[in-house]
Structure 1
């Protein structure tokens, strides 16, 4: 019996035809995504669901989807899909992460030009018959400095366009290596330098806890007087009230936003500000981009439903059904090793080396490397998955090396991840025990054995008497409950590492106090 797919949002006729040509039955009901009750009523009939952003795949929809095997999102963002609930029911969630990069980059450039020349306000004035030539004095972009916060897939396209417009392009991106920056023709800088040097600043990062309010009042204070700010990435990367205050005071000459904290933005503190330009989240809205992502999602869903091949899945590795049971715990281990290193890495990554020793060396190491890179890149690139991670790493100029070897040392099998940055080399190793749970067995050459919990503290310290007691008292006095406590050292009295699992996130205030504990060199919060 042929698989059956529901298309509940507007998808191009060519994408619908792909399903039919490949023998997949497709019901094109582009309005049903807006009708939650109707969608819940009929979803149980379908093996696949193809959506854009209008359809909300909620817990209730997933609970009613008795036969659903795959959800395909034509586009990048999957905020409208409850991925944990889909995963729990064995439903694969796919997206199309690379289909609209050019369109979004072009929109950022368009917004920069529009705000520099005050085109929307000048258009409204002219069509009202005012002809206010002297009112709309603009700024040239030629010879100006364009600062990119984020220089990945979209940011690098903006960089190329900016260079073509004879701008000086500088970029802040912790994952941008000097070699990649050189190839793009951009200067890699720290955030403070970018803020103080740029005439135009454009944002191209995902929205994470680290990137939220990257542009706040303090950041704006560091900017040049009369700078411009463009955000076509994600609402929340800039503090909207702080931007409004800067526009009102004249600190910013203008701002152009395609995205907002709350969407649809029927009201916003930025609306009505002088020299503010806005569009209703049009970054990916061109015929070409919509066609590209629609065709991609149709092909991906057909591949999975007809042959089991998985591409661009956000909740499933690209491995075969036969491999899955044996490989799954090592996929989890590799992702944890990557996440461990990624959360501790703050400078550009130049090289990633993965050593597979013992039985794991005979497994599908490509999937394991993808899992490790996913963990490594996730702290800054929230939408990364096992398929896109290798591409994103390559875009950033990272050299990936895989080494397989026979068993060495005390453990039957293990994975060691080494990350080399501009400043240092950091390694972490782990294995899977008989209970199927991953364990950390070595950090920076220091042996220890630790299971990673949701909330962890990574502490480097001098191996001196009194450290453990002092640390325990500091945590206890601040009502931080310790779940597990793991120690390792190079030699008595020398460098030591402490991995502490705690029951809840530790506040910034407590972190600051921990850094003052005697013999502590570094304290970092980790999440898994």
Structure 2
């Protein structure tokens, strides 16, 4: 009989569903890592929340484990690379607590505006300090929503109901989706300059970590109020404290912290801060929803092989896997390349499959392209959920196939349309089945992608290649390969350079400052 361990406290509904599906289940909560390691080898599935940490050591001991299900969205407590290497599917429930988290953000905004926690404590202490707790109205104020996805869009909807004006920054929010939500899409600096309240609803990525820092706080309106119910690492807490003490920021409401559990924090001593202990998902309804969802998903996977909300497993059959593997690597490179060089909101994605590629199961290939495309600015994007994420963001995804092959026996071309431009990139497989880029922006070139690449667009002028090579040499950067292409003499040109290590920021700035350079992007694969 299939056997599942529930190692964290969750709604009894989860165990009930497992048993109804004929799965044996043990509920053993509060175990130490040593105790979990000792017993995990007996189970096919592990259902957790945030208390259990599935480390590489635990996973190594899980000799029979096939799936880890996280009842909730965050999987910081799961070593996903270790699970993937061990052939363990990791899944979460990204939509079960969206309403609850959004409502908590709204509640925090109210509490901050009307000093409710401090006023409650004062009144229950026998004081009557009406003048001390003068508040402000939400009506007519501008709310800046950073990250207008599943949770952020719910917050925006609730704020509009409160007659607030909502401006939103989200690179993947299309103008059409913004119009449907009733929000104004703006750039980040514009949001900082206009918002009376700023609420964060974005994951931690390289682009969002420490987003609220001294530099960006200086761009905000005097007296702004900041709410963070997303991730602690989005905010530099010392910088926020300084701004709260100076009055630049009138107040902050914080549910998440850089270190949790947060028994102490630099923000705790401030009167103009409302703090809660990561309660975003803590409602009865949310706990029931995520427990039901994780149990149903895990049961489906264990009993019939169906995959839902997997973070590390593509939807590919065993028969298709060997044939698709090199194409999946090519698709991943095409999507990642386009995602890393895209700088404005996505509107349309068109994937063309030509020649031999046209006869494949293209759905997982398109999904992995979308994963690579969306990945640089979003976490938890994978082959399973990437198409859903694209649809929710109003991104039009098109596929086309053609058995006819022109210059190559097989070709995949990706065209990405943003609010500003369209850009295409194409790749193929040669006899060795290794992916190669053969065209960028209609400019022909043949290049293999390495771990560290430098992408430069420039005007085709004499001396540019020498200047770029000399600059990299002076910076101690070793060039592995150097690929060039252009539309026409003196026109637009591209340099795609493989280097042995990532570039320092000061070197990148020097490259950007070279004459005739239009765009510089460090790329990682």
TM-score interval for Structure 1 and Structure 2 normalised by the shorter chain: over 0.9
What is the correspondence of 1:280-319 to structure 2 with a 5 Å cutoff? 280-319=277-316
Partner secondary structure for residue 17 of structure 2: helix
- Tell me if structure 1 keeps the 8 A contact 2:145–2:169: yes
Decide whether the 8 Å contact of 1:312 with 1:386 is kept in 2.
no
Alignment of 1:33-44 (within 5 A): 35-44=32-41
| C-alpha distance in structure 1 between counterparts of 2:247 and 2:215, whole Å | 16
| CA drift at 1:328 | 2.3
Deviations 1:18-56 (A, max 9, x none): 111111221111222xx1111111111111111111111
Distance in 2, matches of 1:331 and 1:287, equals: 41
Task: Tell me the residue number matched to 1:4.
Answer: 3
- 1:456 to 2:433 alignment: no
| Larger CA deviation: 256-265 vs 435-444 | 435-444
- What do residues 96-152 of structure 1 show as CA deviations (whole Å, max 9, x unaligned)? 111111111111101000000011111111111111111000010011111111111
Where in structure 2 are the equivalents of 1:60-459 lying within 5 Å? 60-459=57-456
Q: Distance in 2 between matches of 1:263 and 1:483?
A: 43
Q: Does structure 1 retain, via aligned residues, the 8 Å contact 2:359–2:403? A: no
Matched, 1:23 2:18: no
Deviation at 1:436, TM superposition (A): 3.2
| Structure 2 residues without counterparts, runs of 5 or longer | none
How far does residue 464 in structure 1 lie from its aligned partner after superposition?
3.0
CA distance in 2: counterparts of 1:95 and 1:62, whole angstroms: 17
CA distance in 2, matches of 1:196, 1:300: 44
Q: Is the 8 A contact 1:311 1:318 kept in 2?
A: no
Query: Hey, what's the Cα distance between the residues in 1 that align with 2:298 and 2:431?
Result: 36
Structure 2 length-normalised TM = 0.98
The CA deviation at 1:255 is 0.3
Q: Does the residue aligned with 2:377 lie in a helix, a strand or coil? A: coil
CA distance in 1: counterparts of 2:435 and 2:97, whole angstroms: 37
**Matched residues in 2 for 1:451 and 1:487: separation?**
13
Whether the aligned pair in 1 keeps the contact of 2:326 and 2:433 (CA below 8 Å) is yes
2:330 & 2:93 partners in 1: Cα distance? 26
Structure 1 unaligned spans of 5+: none
Distance 2:498 2:283 in 1: 48
Contact 2:53 2:78 in 1 (8 A): yes
- Counterparts of 1:518 and 1:198, CA distance in 2: 38
1: CA distance between counterparts of 2:289 and 2:434?
40
In the other structure, the counterpart of 1:509 is 506
Kept in 2: contact 1:153–1:392 (CA 8 A): no
Contact 1:97 1:388 in 2 (8 A): no
Matched residue of 1:285: which SS?
coil
* Partner Cα distance (2:137, 2:56) in 1: 50
TM-superposed deviation, 1:467: 2.4
Cα deviation, residue 195, structure 1: 0.8
Question: Normalising by structure 1, what TM-score?
Answer: 0.97
Task: Could you list the structure 1 runs, at least 4 aligned residues long, displaced by more than 4 angstroms after superposition.
Answer: none
Distance, in Å, in 1 between the alignment partners of 2:441 and 2:116 is 55
SS at 2:232's partner residue?
Answer: coil
Within 1, Cα distance between the matches of 2:64 and 2:3?
Answer: 10
SS in 1 for 2:234: coil
TM-aligned CA deviation for residue 405 of structure 1: 0.8
Shift of 1:73: 1.0
The superposition leaves residues 253-298 of structure 1 with CA deviations (integer Å, 9 ceiling, x where unpaired) of 1100111111111111111112100111111111111111111111
User: Is the partner of 1:353 in helix, strand or coil?
Assistant: strand
- Cα distance, 1:459 vs structure 2: 0.6
Matched, 1:466 2:463: yes
Aligned counterparts of 2:318 and 2:516: Cα–Cα separation in 1:
50
How far is the alpha carbon of 1:357 from its aligned partner?
A: 1.0
Shift in Å at residue 433 of structure 1?
A: 3.0
* Deviation readout 1:466-508 (Å, 9 max, x if unpaired): 3222212111111112222222222333221111122222111
User: How big is the alpha-carbon RMSD for the aligned residues of Structure 1 and Structure 2?
Assistant: 1.3
CA distance in 2, matches of 1:62, 1:309: 22
Please give the per-residue CA displacement for 1:203-237, whole angstroms capped at 9, x wherever unaligned: 11111111112211121112111110001111121
The answer to whether the 8 Å contact 1:248/1:274 transfers is no
Give the distance between the partners of 2:343 and 2:63, measured in 1 at CA: 44
Q: 1:236·1:260 contact (CA, 8 Å) conserved in 2? A: yes
